[in-house]
Structure 1
């Protein structure tokens, strides 16, 4: 299992303290992938640029796809740009992958045989490992979870327990991207409300 898969699993916990939007989660998953690639030596970070490293990507299909999308030639991509590009619909990609791996299953809710389906976690070693990392307060996973509000309010840029400058930079960029997405949502809500009021009239 990877940090990104662990993050998706704890976001699917049966009684989450905060419902995570697909867009927020997708950005955080892209950040988690980047941190796993950094940890494996597949990429490094210079300032806010992602630079290919010497090692190959970990033996994980989705991480392999992420590594294949890294810009190999200068000018290298900024972390923020990577999050938005790689993060597009990434939560749905992870849901599909975890369903195929048997980590998630779809069950019908309610008593009717044709009721709506909902996705549920399966009790697997992968799930227990992810929940264990969360309960132990593993700093990287905790910081990413906090960025999308899984532990209450969204965090700021200063993440306790992160003693690596590169990790701190990536997590801070995830925070900024999530806040930017929230600002876009709020702006659209205001615009839609104003538009509705125009049609409704005085």
Structure 2
């Protein structure tokens, strides 16, 4: 199972009632993909550039798609550029993949007889594996979850990431999420100002 899939499962399992920003989650998922590609040797970080390496395609279809989407010509791509490009709509792609595999279903009731309502995780090996990584306080998974808003920021007592390459990727995820939040706030202010103009305020 891949880290982005585990992160998506954790998002559905741990915080089903917590409002998550899809953009934040998508950026964290793109960061999780880079982490897995670094682990498998499909890419390396050269300065601030992601440089693809010759390696077997990952078994996971979405991770294989991520590997094939890497920029393969100099000057390559920074982790931040990758997050914005690859992250667009990524949470929806992982949600659809989990649904197609039978990992999740949709809650139904008499008011919503067809698909609708909230997602419900099936009792699968993938869910148990993601739960194990979460319960084990795996540092990278915790950091990505914090960036996505699934949980609060890490406390000093929790295990920390020590690999400089991974830290660079996690910092890029954090910065991208902060930038996206700044954009949201700016749009909210602009929308409020526009509404005031129309009301004659």
Structure 1 position 56, deviation (Å): 2.2
After superposition, the Cα gap between the structure-2 partners of 1:66 and 1:113, relative to the gap in structure 1 and judged at 3 Å, is closer
Secondary structure of the residue aligned to 1:74 is coil
| 8 Å contact from structure 2 (residues 24, 149) kept in 1 | no
| 8 Å contact from structure 1 (residues 17, 151) kept in 2 | no
Residue 142 (structure 2) aligns with: 142
**CA offset digits 1:73-108 (Å, max 9, x no partner):** 111111100000000100000011001111111222
Residue 119 (structure 1) aligns with: 119
The higher relative CO (CA closer than 8 Å, separation ≥ 6) is in 2
Q: Does 1:151 align with 2:151?
A: yes
Which stretch shifts more, 186-195 or 18-27?
18-27
Residue 180 (structure 2) aligns with: 181
Q: Please provide the CA RMSD for this pair.
A: 1.9
Residue 99 (structure 1) aligns with: 99
Q: Distance in 1 between matches of 2:24 and 2:151?
A: 14
- Where structure 1 has 5 or more consecutive residues not aligned to the other structure, the ranges are none
Q: How many residues align?
A: 198
Q: Distance in 1 between matches of 2:57 and 2:38?
A: 9
Scaled by the length of structure 2, the TM-score of the pair is 0.92
- Where structure 2 has 5 or more consecutive residues not aligned to the other structure, the ranges are none
Q: Does 1:194 align with 2:185?
A: no
Secondary structure of the residue aligned to 1:55 is coil
Q: Distance in 1 between matches of 2:143 and 2:185?
A: 24
Scaled by the length of structure 1, the TM-score of the pair is 0.91
The 5-angstrom pairing of residues 34-45 of structure 1 reads 34-45=34-45
Q: Does 1:4 align with 2:14?
A: no
Q: Distance in 1 between matches of 2:97 and 2:144?
A: 20
Q: Distance in 2 between matches of 1:182 and 1:155?
A: 19
| 8 Å contact from structure 1 (residues 28, 148) kept in 2 | yes
Q: Distance in 1 between matches of 2:15 and 2:151?
A: 12
Secondary structure of the residue aligned to 1:117 is coil
Secondary structure of the residue aligned to 2:38 is helix
After superposition, the Cα gap between the structure-2 partners of 1:176 and 1:15, relative to the gap in structure 1 and judged at 3 Å, is closer
